[in-house]
Structure 1
Amino acid sequence: MTTDIPLNADCPLPDPAGLHTERELVAVLRLLKDRTGLTYRQLESRARRAGHRLPRSTIASVLARTTLPREEFVTALVCACGLNPAPWQAAHRRIAGQAVHTDAADPHETAPRPWQMPYCAPGLRGHDEEVDSVVTWLTNAQDPAPVQVITGPPGVGKSVVALRAVGRAAAHYPDGQLYVELRRPRPMAEPLPAADVVDRLLRGFGFPPAQLPAGAAERAALLRTTLTERKVLVVLDDAASAAQIRSLVPARKRSALLVTSRFSLVALHGSRRARLRPLPAPEAEAALRQLLGDERAGPSSRALRALASYCGGLPLMLRITAARLAARTDLSVDALASRLADERDRLGALRVAGLEARASLADSYQDLTRVDDADRTLVRTFLFFGRSREPEIRLSHLADVLDVSHARAEWAAEQLLDSHLVEVTPTGRYRMHDLLRCFARELAEREHTAEKGRWSGPIGMLTTRTTVA
């Protein structure tokens, strides 16, 4: 029986022959149901047409457990999903033959199995090699590194890469998946304290607050123990520092921690990294065409190529552009490309219905203000990249303009580099991404206007006359 259901080819299901435990089989069946997008009622109806009995209540009940379901259930569900049941029946018989039923002795069977991952649109293009690398790490039990960090500049698609990888590796973590956004809601988007992150994860595991240890260190130890005993996938999205997550890392990799961050997190020892860069021009154009659809994108690629270029190859900006064109059917691709050509209007045009380029960039700027010093060297360095007419900045020139020592200028530049707000050219100069430079210019002009305002009016005029005299 061939499938007529659009299963995501980019996220194929694991081979049933590779399943070894009852929990793994049920986890993959649950994943199969989610991938089809079919409701319980639709599955019941499709199974009936294929000659099987599959009540809606039975589907919900069986997929909520981790014990081995009956072979008849597996056959009916797989047929309802449009797949050949033979490999699944063979996997069921093999697992049933080797299973040792210790339900009463296994505390994991009664523990909650969280499934907290947010929705990720299937089939998104870009960063396929990085996704493959993360999936390999997630599915390789021999890799000792307990943490994978996905890092890169704002808007580059770190969260999407993480969720795409999770979608492909979910079946390897039958005890559940946990997700924590590591920042408070905007406008400040402050980092969550490490103790709050620990508490959220423990609540996800079903620990009642009254049973948690009183001390933060003891709670972190309980979390590490839980991660070591179970096979759980944890995604920590948008980490602000290594200190925010260091206490969560278990001693060995049974569970997996997948972390996204704008920072390199080099102080997180024992972790492996995948650094994302903006998409090359051909990939960015192809991704934008995929988001728009061929009919909306039109036959001409010149305007589409220009749009992808103005988005800087950043997937978030490509999504915003596609959403804006979808919301404004009267707005042509050429017209939007003409508007984005003006750098001073570009950030204003990159916004639609809750998605905004400025918001993502502003979070990175807020991070700078939190680690800056009294003389604002770091913020002044960021603003200088917005004011400068030169695309590449020498370190000596930066020190002269800011009137700081060479070591101080180097510290500021390295902070921006670690935050992925600038990059180093082969000649050793520093360069800022076009969209970031637009944002830095806006902030610099706003600050310059505020400075002029402080010296306007009668008091400012009097001070100026006194100084001149």
Structure 2
Amino acid sequence: ALAVRAAHELAAEHPGGSVFVPMGGGTPDGPAEAARAVRVLAEALGLSSPTGDDPASGWSALLTGRRVVVVLDDVATAAQVRVLGPVPVGCALIVTSRSGMTTLDGATRVSVGALDTDDALDVLRYHLGAERVDAEPEAARTLVERCDALPLALRIVAARLATRQNWSLAAFAARLADPAARLDALVCESMSIRDCLAGAVRVLTRYGDGDGVALRALRLLSRLDRGLVGVSNLAALSGQPMAAAEVAAERLVDAGLAEALPDGRYRIPELVRAHVRELGRSPECDQVVALRGQHPTTTARPRR
């Protein structure tokens, strides 16, 4: 949604229009090949698909001389973008990805994680109106908390409430009270928190976690009743050295499943933990209940 809005903001400078190209980084079928992205672009522009086997040539031929905004959505790796070649002069490119795209040269990066409470409330006000949100301030804050202040979750809440004018914010917040049922409620048309998280797990396992260390750590963390954890906590839970535990945590950040905090801890949203619990338990996860009681002084508590 943020990328589409950014494309709309650039529309005045790019009268050729905006083109949305799904790159499939987190889909079950895997990322789209560059040739498919070029075909989608051609169809959107109403042009014939370029012939030849070089995607970069086709990309350049379609865009040169036009003033178009292209949104490449759900890119798995920077290589998916690099193979298309540079963006022709006069065009703009917006890339969304779960990874940081740190090896993509010349890009301006914007990290979108959990919002602070005030910004999250503004999202609800934008979609539902300030009058409705401010009439139930405590319920609105509860909704933000139960959405982990994640933009997509808030957008889904707003979409559902917008079509149910007779629902109070408090009533919908009550529907989200049980973490186990929360993922079922956070669905509206094509928007689904569960699908988004499933895509993030696929990206993790396909590209950043060949030895399964990060996924194993995530399964362990999903059993905890707290969202903030330090490297020492993760090392104790997983039986790993500190360095290995930090590598696992950073892999989760790269996949968009955790957030690195300035104090060195990591935030694992409850929605992420709920999804991982749905994926099934490994035998190691059963050790967490006992381990949790053994480390009461070092286990980080979630912020309220």
2:208–2:251 contact (8 Å) kept in structure 1: no
How far off is 1:264 after superposition? 0.6
Aligned-partner residue type, residue 283 of structure 1 = D
Are 2:27 and 1:191 equivalent residues in the alignment?
no
| Distance in 2 (alpha carbons) for counterparts of 1:356 and 1:381 | 24
1:385–1:440 contact (8 Å) kept in structure 2: no
- Percent identical among aligned pairs is 38
2:19 counterpart residue number: 178
1:183–1:191 contact (8 Å) kept in structure 2: yes
1:350 counterpart residue number: 186
How far off is 1:180 after superposition? 0.5
Per-residue deviation, residues 420-455 of structure 1 (Å, max 9, x unmatched): 321223332222123223323333xx2248x99xxx
Relative to structure 1, the CA distance from residue 208 to residue 367 in structure 2 (aligned partners, 3 Å threshold; closer, same or farther) is same
1:264 to 100, 104, 107: 100
1:385 counterpart residue number: 221
Relative to structure 1, the CA distance from residue 322 to residue 170 in structure 2 (aligned partners, 3 Å threshold; closer, same or farther) is closer
| Distance in 1 (alpha carbons) for counterparts of 2:2 and 2:45 | 25
Relative to structure 1, the CA distance from residue 202 to residue 402 in structure 2 (aligned partners, 3 Å threshold; closer, same or farther) is same
Relative to structure 1, the CA distance from residue 298 to residue 388 in structure 2 (aligned partners, 3 Å threshold; closer, same or farther) is closer
1:310 counterpart residue number: 146
2:117–2:149 contact (8 Å) kept in structure 1: yes
2:65–2:90 contact (8 Å) kept in structure 1: yes
Aligned-partner residue type, residue 193 of structure 1 = E
SS at match of 1:428: coil
Count residues with an aligned counterpart.
286
1:423 to 242, 246, 259: 259
1:372–1:379 contact (8 Å) kept in structure 2: no
* Gapped regions of structure 2 (runs ≥ 5): 287-304
Relative to structure 1, the CA distance from residue 250 to residue 336 in structure 2 (aligned partners, 3 Å threshold; closer, same or farther) is same
1:161 counterpart residue number: 2
Relative to structure 1, the CA distance from residue 327 to residue 404 in structure 2 (aligned partners, 3 Å threshold; closer, same or farther) is same
2:127–2:162 contact (8 Å) kept in structure 1: no
1:102 counterpart residue number: none
Aligned-partner residue type, residue 271 of structure 1 = A
Are 2:82 and 1:242 equivalent residues in the alignment?
no
1:184–1:191 contact (8 Å) kept in structure 2: yes
| Distance in 1 (alpha carbons) for counterparts of 2:187 and 2:87 | 43
SS at match of 1:248: coil
Tell me the TM-score normalised to structure 2 length.
Answer: 0.80
Relative to structure 1, the CA distance from residue 249 to residue 280 in structure 2 (aligned partners, 3 Å threshold; closer, same or farther) is same
How far off is 1:402 after superposition? 2.8
2:231 counterpart residue number: 395
1:230 to 55, 59, 66: 66
Q: What is the 5 A alignment of 1:67-466?
A: 160-183=1-24, 188=28, 190-205=30-45, 207-209=47-49, 212-213=51-52, 215=53, 218-250=54-86, 253-293=89-129, 297=133, 299-328=135-164, 331-371=167-207, 375-443=211-279, 446-448=280-282
How far off is 1:230 after superposition? 3.1
Tell me the TM-score normalised to structure 1 length.
Answer: 0.54
* Gapped regions of structure 1 (runs ≥ 5): 1-159, 453-469
Larger Rg: 1
Per-residue deviation, residues 328-370 of structure 1 (Å, max 9, x unmatched): 5564322222332333332233234443321221111121222
Relative to structure 1, the CA distance from residue 320 to residue 189 in structure 2 (aligned partners, 3 Å threshold; closer, same or farther) is farther
Per-residue deviation, residues 356-415 of structure 1 (Å, max 9, x unmatched): 321221111121222365642121122222123454333244234334444433332222
Aligned-partner residue type, residue 212 of structure 1 = T
| Distance in 2 (alpha carbons) for counterparts of 1:166 and 1:377 | 37
How far off is 1:268 after superposition? 0.7
